[in-house]
Amino acid sequence: MLTVVGVGPGSESYLTPLARQAIDEAEVIVAGERLLEAFAGEGKSTFVIKNNLEDVVNFIKKNLKEKKVAVLASGDPGMYGILNFLLRHFSPEQMEVIPGISSVQLACARLRISWHDAVITSVHGREIKGLVDLVRNHDKVITLTDYRLTPAVVAQELIAAGVVGKKVWVCQNLSYSNEFVREFSLESLAKSPGYPGSVMVIVNYEHKVGGPDE
C-alpha cells in the first residue's frame, strides 16, 4: 500500500496523530529534503524528491511490491500537492490518503476568517494568467505563491491591470517560529521585498480580520 501523508504546514505540532502513525509504520519514506529531515526519523530507507519525478515513480514502483511506502506532502496532499501527480501513475486502490492541515486553513485560522466562501488558487510554479479576473470578480481570493511569482509581483500585476479596492494579507512561514502575517495595501505590497512562498489572501478593502462576511 502506498500511503500519501499530509504533514501540515511545517511544525510538528500540526502533524496529526494518524499522520505520525503512518510515517512510523512506513518502511520507506519519499519526500522533499525539508520534510524528510523534519518528519522521517531514524532508520528508514528514504528517497528525496527534487526535479526527478520520473525517478520518484520508478523508486516507488520498485519498493511498493514488498514494502510499506509513504510519500509525504506538505499541508494536505490534495491541495496543490503531489496527489494528482501520483494518481497519474498509481491507481486509487493502491493508495491511502491521510489528510493534513493545509497552509490555507492555517492562514484563515490566523486571520479568523472563513474559507468556504473563498476562491482558492495557486500561482506556485504556474502562470499568473486568470488570477486578475478571479480577484476582480470575487470578494475573497486565496492564492499560494512561490519565489518567482511572489506576493509583491502579484500585487504589481494586479495594479497594472487596474484592480482597485482590494487589500492583501500575506502569511509566510506559517506554524514556524518566524511566522509572518501582515496586512498590506496593493500599493505597499508591490513595493515590498516580496515574501516568497506564502499564502496571499486578497479581499475587498473593507473586509476585516475576524469580520463576519455573510
Ligand X SMILES: C[S@@+](CC[C@H](N)C(=O)[O-])C[C@H]1O[C@@H](n2cnc3c(N)ncnc32)[C@H](O)[C@@H]1O
Which residue lies nearest ligand X, judged by its C-beta? 75
Q: Which is nearer to ligand X, 12 or 27 (CB)?
A: 12
Q: Residue 149 and residue 128: Cα distance in Å, rounded?
A: 8
Residue in the block written with cell 499560494: 144
User: Which residue in the set 4, 9, 166, 184 belongs to the binding site for ligand X (CB under 6 A)?
Assistant: 9
Binding to ligand X by residue 198, rule CB under 6 A?
A: yes
Binding to ligand X by residue 150, rule CB under 6 A?
A: no
Q: Residue 192 and residue 150: Cα distance in Å, rounded?
A: 10
Binding to ligand X by residue 121, rule CB under 6 A?
A: no
Q: Residue 79 and residue 81: Cα distance in Å, rounded?
A: 5
- x/- binding map, residues 152-191, to ligand X, per CB under 6 A? -------------------xxxxx----------------
Report the relative pairing of strands 95-98 and 45-48 from DSSP bridges.
Answer: unpaired
Report yes or no: 198 and 170 within 8 Å, Cβ to Cβ.
yes
Report yes or no: 25 and 68 within 8 Å, Cβ to Cβ.
yes
Binding to ligand X by residue 76, rule CB under 6 A?
A: yes
Work out how close the CB of 203 gets to ligand X at its nearest, in angstroms, rounded to a whole number. Answer: 17
User: Which residue in the set 28, 59, 69, 81 belongs to the binding site for ligand X (CB under 6 A)?
Assistant: 81
Cell readout for 69 is 511506502
Residue ranges that bind ligand X, judged by CB under 6 A: 9-10, 73-76, 79-81, 102-103, 124, 144-146, 171-175, 197-199
